[in-house]
Structure 1
Amino acid sequence: MPNLQETLDLSSYVALGDSFTEGLNDPGADGAFAGWADRLAGMLAEGRPPGGFRYANLAVRGRLLDQIVAEQVPQVRRLQPDLVTFCAGGNDILRPGSDPDEVAERFETAIAQLAENAGTVLICTGFDTREVPLLKHLRGKIATYNGHMRAVADRYDCKVADLWSLRAVQDRRAWSEDRLHLSPEGHQRVALLAARSLGLRTAEDPEAAWPTARVLTAADQRRENLQWAREHLIPWVGRRLRGESSGDHVEAKRPELLPL
């Protein structure tokens, strides 16, 4: 069954954000990352004539909220899309000492600008990190930020893709080896959730059951955790200590509204 648009007539879409929206760890056919936003754009373009749907993705990995507001949000005024997705602030929340109340105030300022220049704005809440090593200690902070974002969405009539309540991404297979970015199937689940949040019916269910997985022994889990720490955690901490970002010298993969 094709995706059927029920409530919105969208012919242009701009995605804003960080690595989550850039699509890290979901390899695309062209060598660049694809990700949930690219997948959502494909769903929105279904059934339209060639060139009938335009899409831009300005997201860049590692970007903090203020960087997204400075670099990406002003482009929406120029592009004037029917839809913009704005998923930002997660990297701020992960930083020690950050205040989710203060981050939310800056988030709302950005939403006010976007609401003036886009037909529809969709935001994403943060994931529930209760099963994620280290990040599970930030669960309360993320929940506080989520509460603020939902309130902002209500005030500006934004659509909300509630990632916190998406049970499918609690499965380890929804995440790539670095445990910070989604796997291809995880990106697909988020794309389906975003589509449904916009009022589309999809043939696939974002909460569809996963195939039965092999149960890891305690020794297997310890071995995986050590490998993850060596390959991903230590380099990530090192970049933070050096003041570096994975997004240094990276540019948006699709900076203009082009036919999809």
Structure 2
Amino acid sequence: MAGLLVAIGDSFTEGVGDPHLHYPNGVRGWGDRLARQLGRADPAWRYANLAIRSKFLDQVVADQLEPALAMEPTHVSFYAGGNDLLSLRADVDGLMGRYEAALRRLTGSGAQVVVFTAFDPRTSRLLEPLRRRVLAFNDGVRDLAATHGAVLVDHAALREFEHPMLWAPDRIHMSRHGHKRMAAVVAERIGVPHTLRLRDLVPHERRPWRQVAADEATFVRAEVLPLVRRRLRGEYDGDRITPKWPQPVHPADGMKRLAASRATGPVPGRDLQGAGSGSEQGS
């Protein structure tokens, strides 16, 4: 049965790591990929995505929660807190208390709410302090999902995501293949058929220790240190962008076509409440 999916959160839901020039903000992501599958399953499905990269939990709640609920969605995806965990001083207990208040508000609306654990970063010993926070966050999300009747996508339990092909170079955001796989997982969790073709994950060979050490040094210089510097300066990419899909659209019209129409006006022959068809290749 068709409905309205509203996605709220941060870069995980906006789609960072899955670049695409023809999509708003230059990224596609699992949310847009899932939306296309919803439109194929039933052209009456509608979709909005309010997520913005680098936002903290309190910012997601303040800026996105009420606008999302005002749309009267049948389904809401909610992921926030990852950027809080990256802070130098993260109060996980306090974070989970605020997370629960937001989750209670969402589930109280009657919408089916989908929540996510965070994938724990086992790729570098440098990230071990972050991993401890992630484990505590994930335990909290699991408990709260069970308590409040939310649909849980336990990303941390999907160990196929240990494959490096599913991650962007920063090791924090999923790659195109990772977002595509996540779209398939969420579709299955909410009972929507999909036609996503997932690439086989060929076992990756173990690298010599010298190569591992060299790669770690490169990773620290290229990704970790710039992130720390930006955080210390209070610079956040999300301060300069707007939501990708702030109003509901019909994915059946074709996501790239809808993106192009934002600059020129409404899609011909359609309004937000109507139903229609369209085709788009390459999901």
Do Structure 1 and Structure 2 share a fold, with TM-score over 0.5?
yes
8 Å CA contact 1:76, 1:117 repeated in 2: no
Give aligned pairs, total. Answer: 249
Aligned residue for 1:160? 152
Give the drift of 1:93. Answer: 1.6
Aligned residue for 1:252? 243
Q: Quick one: which amino acid aligns to residue 234 of structure 1? A: L
8 Å CA contact 1:173, 1:183 repeated in 2: yes
For residues 227-250 of structure 1, give each alpha carbon's deviation from its aligned partner in whole angstroms, at most 9, with x where no partner exists. 222222221111111111121211
Q: CA RMSD in A?
A: 2.0
What SS class does the counterpart of residue 103 from structure 2 fall into? helix
| Match for residue 166 of structure 2 among 169, 174, 178 | 174
Specify which structure has the higher proportion of helix: 2
What SS class does the counterpart of residue 72 from structure 1 fall into? helix
Equivalences for residues 164-243 of structure 1 within 5 A: 164-200=156-192, 202=194, 209-243=200-234
8 Å CA contact 1:168, 1:189 repeated in 2: no
Aligned residue for 2:86? 94
For residues 80-103 of structure 1, give each alpha carbon's deviation from its aligned partner in whole angstroms, at most 9, with x where no partner exists. 111110001111122122122211
Give the drift of 1:164. Answer: 0.7
Q: Aligned residues: percent identity? A: 35
Aligned residue for 1:116? 108
Equivalences for residues 4-153 of structure 1 within 5 A: 9-28=1-20, 30-31=22-23, 32-49=26-43, 52-153=44-145
Give the drift of 1:226. Answer: 2.5
Unaligned ranges ≥5, structure 1: 1-8
Whole-Å separation in 1 of the counterparts to 2:46 and 2:192: 18
For residues 37-70 of structure 1, give each alpha carbon's deviation from its aligned partner in whole angstroms, at most 9, with x where no partner exists. 1112122222323xx2211111001000000000
Whole-Å separation in 1 of the counterparts to 2:228 and 2:155: 25
What SS class does the counterpart of residue 18 from structure 2 fall into? coil
TM-score w.r.t. length of structure 2: 0.81
Give the drift of 1:203. Answer: 5.9
Give the drift of 1:204. Answer: 6.0
What SS class does the counterpart of residue 84 from structure 1 fall into? strand
Give the drift of 1:117. Answer: 2.9
For residues 120-154 of structure 1, give each alpha carbon's deviation from its aligned partner in whole angstroms, at most 9, with x where no partner exists. 10000111222245223322321221121122112
Give the drift of 1:184. Answer: 0.5
Give the drift of 1:170. Answer: 0.7
8 Å CA contact 1:84, 1:118 repeated in 2: no
